[in-house]
């Protein structure tokens, strides 16, 4: 059989790896997906989800036509003309109060063309939108306050480390390409430490596994810091030259002797001492921090305390050393390079009302007034599955007069819509993407035509603008039309900001952003008020109302007799949150949401493996099958997040909408439950 045409592309999902891929197209169909070795961060394979793209594009459940809710309340196929007419009629009726329309976007797909969304709503005259983020902002802000910016060394520099600490991160499932560099480091003699309440795939190869009580990581870090000071393992010369607030931090750490740190965290004192000895004696050392750990009400301060360990040991600005959390060096096009993009603006501009916390989505939507919300537009997200406090989000959606959802599948959120518009896949329109782990910019090339009646979102906005009578010149300058030439011209204009970067160059493969630092902070210059690494931050206090030092406070939700189990909701290698889990190939591997419980907690409740249980708190109840996890510390249970509601496992039925201590993140893991055996 003759070989087809090969394209280079990049995966636009919200994932560390943002893999480069080579894709074969034959007879207008996707045929093969392979790794692209030109990306040094992801050269050796495509993950399970990436391999499932062919299935995703051709899935029989994919939405190929607009849907509209009929007089009997059911969604049925309608024409594009009817869908656009119904949307425009509502938009025209609300245009006198444009901020009664909410535009909500998630992070399901990355790309420069996402900016077209906001261009349209500004042309409309106004809108309401959300601030904050479900994913990572507490850690972003903690890093910015401490180091002045969010960047880290190139992924391949990890191979130079001699001590690697995965603190609340499980890359063997969630950042699989990072494991290649871990293996290289270990082959060269590096020690591997994993800190996680669960025993994960990553921890299977660890030299040391530490399992703290969830939400106590800040106390663990302060206990380690105290031990560093007590054992004279602090790099005094580095600290004196480059660290601000170290004297006051030493006094804070002294409040956490081994015995107290062990009591708070549940980690035996010898383990705390052993990790302190490793951090103080093995160099260079890298700490890779995960996102789940910064989803508590105390998590920003926790991340600052952990970062301090690298400052005290001089493990910043050297090959093989540093803090791996978010590398925004490739974020050169949009405000996401600045963490303040997640915050509400200091002053409203009269067009965008940025007044709904993503973490409190349902509650804040219901509170809007002058004008109240009457319509919502949702794209690239599935908030009825992914946002905290599902019941309140559903109530807020159902209180609106009109709902439009753009998606590839009939998700939980799409099922609540009055109009559902079919969305393109990554292979059906060109776009430019960047990453937050590696330094590459990539072209996501169009290589097949959209099936059925699918229209790219930018074309939908163009058609709406035309129907609403927007000024043609304004539209043409901000929203590309339907043709590939118009999309390419839009992207070329955006690329002009980066000298030498063109679509033709990107078609050949990924390109490192100009000026990328292989070793971050090698100049030891920090964009903080003092020009040093700040363990004491005045801005932490003035902006967020927390202590200037990273003082540990318990999570807001405290164990009680009615809710004694902390429910963890980690990611899985089989899905990206609520994406991919509907595909048959993925369901073959994981078809049912299962709750993992420690034997001690199960025995005290008369529960055995395979039993059906109810997981309950004052926010909701879910039913699961139990799997006993002998490696899980007692007082914890876990269910992977992203299960759709109609699959019975939507964990946000049980979470509360509240924010982290800084950054307006979502404190998903402040979530206590009871587990009851069903008859």
Closest CA to 466 of 31, 91, 53, 26: 91
φ and ψ of 50, to 5 deg: -65, -40
535 and 651 inside one domain: no
Paired with 76 in beta bridges are 68
How many Å from the N-terminal Cα to the C-terminal Cα in the chain? 58
Paired with 637 in beta bridges are 567, 597
Paired with 323 in beta bridges are 287
Residues 326/161, Cβ–Cβ less than 8 Å: no
Taking the whole predicted model, whether its pTM rises above 0.85 is answered as: yes
Which tokens sit at 554? 């318990």
Does the pLDDT at position 603 exceed 70? yes
Query: Is residue 184 a part of any domain in this protein?
Result: yes
Q: Which of 58, 81, 101 is the last residue of a domain?
A: 58
Using alpha carbons only, give the angle 270, 224, 637 rounded to the nearest 5 degrees. Answer: 75
Query: Is residue 111 a part of any domain in this protein?
Result: yes
Give pLDDT tens digits for 331-358: 888 654 444 445 554 445 679 999 999 9
Buried b (16+ CB within 10 A) or exposed e, 128-149: bbbbbbbbbbbbbbbbbbbbbb
Query: Is residue 209 a part of any domain in this protein?
Result: yes
Residue 265, by phi and psi: left (phi above 0), alpha (psi -120 to 50) or beta?
A: alpha
164 and 289 inside one domain: yes
What does the pLDDT read at residue 331?
83
For residues 608 and 594, give the distance between their C-alpha atoms in angstroms, rounded to a whole number.
13
Cα diameter, the chain: 75
Buried b (16+ CB within 10 A) or exposed e, 539-563: ebeeebebbbbbbbebbebeeeeeb
Query: Is residue 503 a part of any domain in this protein?
Result: yes
Using alpha carbons only, give the angle 442, 107, 656 rounded to the nearest 5 degrees. Answer: 155
What does the pLDDT read at residue 337?
45
- What is the dihedral sign for C-alpha 386, 670, 270, 199? negative
Query: Is residue 559 a part of any domain in this protein?
Result: no
Per-residue pLDDT band at 58 (split at 50, 70, 90): very high
What does the pLDDT read at residue 35?
93
Which tokens sit at 639? 């269910």
54 and 71 inside one domain: no
488 and 606 inside one domain: no
For residues 266 and 397, give the distance between their C-alpha atoms in angstroms, rounded to a whole number.
42
Q: Please state, for a pLDDT cut of 90, what percent of the chain lies above it.
A: 84
CB atoms within 10 A of CB 365: 26
375 and 260 inside one domain: no
For residues 175-191, average pLDDT: 96
204 and 299 inside one domain: yes
Residues 286/278, Cβ–Cβ less than 8 Å: no
Give pLDDT tens digits for 262-307: 999 999 999 999 999 999 999 999 999 999 899 999 999 999 999 9
Does the pLDDT at position 431 exceed 80? yes
Residues 416/384, Cβ–Cβ less than 8 Å: yes
DSSP for residue 546 = S
Query: Is residue 130 a part of any domain in this protein?
Result: no
Closest CA to 284 of 318, 324, 308, 331: 318
Q: Tell me, what CATH number does 109's domain have?
A: 3.40.50.740
Average pLDDT over all residues of the chain: 93
Using alpha carbons only, give the angle 23, 29, 30 rounded to the nearest 5 degrees. Answer: 25
Query: Is residue 554 a part of any domain in this protein?
Result: no
189 and 316 inside one domain: yes
For residues 202 and 211, give the distance between their C-alpha atoms in angstroms, rounded to a whole number.
13
φ and ψ of 507, to 5 deg: -65, -25
356 and 426 inside one domain: yes
Q: In 533-652, which residue ranges form alpha helices assigned H by DSSP?
A: 538-544, 584-589, 599-604
Q: Tell me, what CATH number does 9's domain have?
A: 2.20.25.90
Structural domain harbouring 25: 5-58
Query: Is residue 666 a part of any domain in this protein?
Result: yes
Using alpha carbons only, give the angle 392, 659, 145 rounded to the nearest 5 degrees. Answer: 160
52 and 150 inside one domain: no
CA 272 to chain centroid: 29
Q: Tell me, what CATH number does 586's domain have?
A: 2.40.40.20
245 and 372 inside one domain: no
State the Rg of the chain over Cα.
Answer: 25
Q: Which of 468, 488, 512 is the last residue of a domain?
A: 512
Which tokens sit at 449? 């035509």
For residues 189 and 487, give the distance between their C-alpha atoms in angstroms, rounded to a whole number.
50
362 and 422 inside one domain: yes
> Cβ neighbours of residue 230 under 8 Å, at least 6 residues apart?
none
Looking at the 3D structure of the chain, how many domains does it have?
A: 4
Give pLDDT tens digits for 13-34: 988 899 999 999 999 999 999 9
For residues 46 and 177, give the distance between their C-alpha atoms in angstroms, rounded to a whole number.
9
Residue 28, by phi and psi: left (phi above 0), alpha (psi -120 to 50) or beta?
A: left
Cα-based distances in Å from 334 to 359, 379, 454, 596: 22, 18, 27, 40
Length of the chain in residues, anyone? 679
For residues 575 and 15, give the distance between their C-alpha atoms in angstroms, rounded to a whole number.
10
Q: Please state, for a pLDDT cut of 70, what percent of the chain lies above it.
A: 97
343 and 316 inside one domain: no
């Amino acid at each position: 059989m003759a070989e087809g045409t090969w394209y280079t592309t990049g995966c636009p999902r919200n994932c560390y790896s943002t893999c480069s891929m080579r894709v074969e197209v034959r007879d207008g169909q996707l045929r093969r997906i392979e790794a692209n070795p030109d990306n040094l961060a992801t050269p050796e394979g495509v993950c399970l989800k990436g391999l499932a793209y062919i299935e995703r594009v051709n899935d029989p459940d994919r939405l190929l036509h607009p849907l509209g809710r009929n007089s009997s309340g059911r969604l049925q196929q309608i024409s594009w003309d009817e869908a656009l007419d119904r949307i425009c009629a509502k938009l025209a009726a609300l245009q006198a109060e444009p901020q009664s329309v909410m535009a909500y976007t998630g992070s399901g797909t990355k790309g420069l063309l996402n900016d077209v969304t906001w261009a349209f709503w500004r042309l409309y005259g106004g809108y309401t939108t959300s601030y904050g983020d479900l994913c990572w902002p507490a850690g972003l802000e903690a890093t910015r306050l401490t180091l002045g910016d969010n960047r880290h060394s190139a992924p391949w520099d990890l191979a130079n480390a001699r001590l690697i600490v995965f603190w609340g991160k499980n890359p063997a499932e969630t950042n699989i390409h990072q494991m290649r560099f871990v293996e290289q480091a270990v082959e060269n003699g590096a020690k591997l430490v994993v800190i996680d309440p669960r025993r994960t795939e990553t921890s299977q190869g660890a030299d040391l596994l530490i399992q703290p009580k969830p939400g106590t990581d800040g106390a663990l870090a302060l206990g380690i810091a105290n031990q560093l000071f007590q054992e004279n393992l602090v790099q005094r010369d580095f600290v004196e030259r480059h660290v601000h607030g170290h004297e006051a931090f030493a006094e804070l750490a002294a409040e956490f002797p081994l015995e107290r740190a062990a009591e708070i965290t549940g980690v035996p004192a010898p383990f705390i001492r052993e990790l302190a000895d490793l951090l103080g004696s093995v160099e260079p050392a890298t700490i890779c921090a995960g996102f789940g750990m910064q989803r508590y009400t105390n998590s920003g301060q926790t991340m600052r305390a952990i970062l301090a360990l690298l400052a005290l040991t001089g493990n910043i600005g050297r090959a093989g050393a540093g803090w791996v959390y978010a590398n925004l060096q490739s974020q050169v096009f949009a405000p996401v390079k600045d963490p303040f993009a997640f915050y509400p603006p200091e002053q409203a501009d009269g067009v965008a009302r940025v007044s709904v916390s993503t973490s409190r989505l349902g509650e804040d939507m219901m509170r809007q007034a002058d004008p109240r919300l009457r319509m919502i537009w949702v794209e690239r997200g599935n908030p009825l599955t992914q946002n905290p406090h599902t019941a309140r989000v559903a109530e807020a959606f159902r209180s609106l007069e009109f709902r439009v959802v753009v998606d590839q599948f009939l998700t939980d959120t799409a099922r609540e819509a009055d109009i559902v518009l079919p969305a393109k896949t990554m292979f059906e329109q060109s776009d430019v993407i960047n990453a937050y782990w590696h330094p590459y910019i990539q072209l996501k090339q169009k290589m097949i035509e959209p099936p059925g009646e699918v229209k790219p979102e930018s074309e939908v906005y163009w058609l709406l603008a035309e129907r609403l009578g927007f000024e043609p010149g304004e539209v043409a300058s901000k929203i590309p039309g339907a043709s590939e030439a118009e999309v390419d011209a839009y992207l070329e204009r955006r690329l002009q900001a980066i000298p030498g970067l063109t679509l033709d160059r990107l078609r050949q493969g990924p390109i490192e952003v100009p000026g990328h630092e292989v070793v971050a902070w090698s100049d030891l210059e920090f964009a903080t008020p003092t020009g040093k690494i700040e363990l004491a931050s005045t801005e932490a206090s003035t902006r967020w109302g927390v202590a200037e030092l990273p003082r540990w406070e318990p999570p807001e939700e405290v164990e009680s007799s009615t809710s004694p189990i902390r429910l963890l909701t980690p990611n899985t290698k089989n899905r990206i949150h609520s994406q991919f889990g509907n595909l048959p190939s993925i369901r073959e591997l994981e078809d049912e949401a299962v709750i993992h419980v420690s034997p001690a907690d199960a025995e005290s409740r008369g529960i055995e493996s395979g039993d059906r249980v109810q997981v309950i708190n004052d926010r909701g109840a879910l039913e699961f099958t139990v799997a006993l996890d002998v490696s899980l510390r007692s007082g914890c249970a876990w269910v992977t997040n992203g299960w759709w509601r109609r699959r019975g496992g939507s964990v946000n039925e049980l979470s509360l909408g509240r924010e982290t201590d800084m950054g307006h993140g979502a404190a998903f893991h402040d979530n206590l439950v009871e587990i009851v055996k069903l008859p």
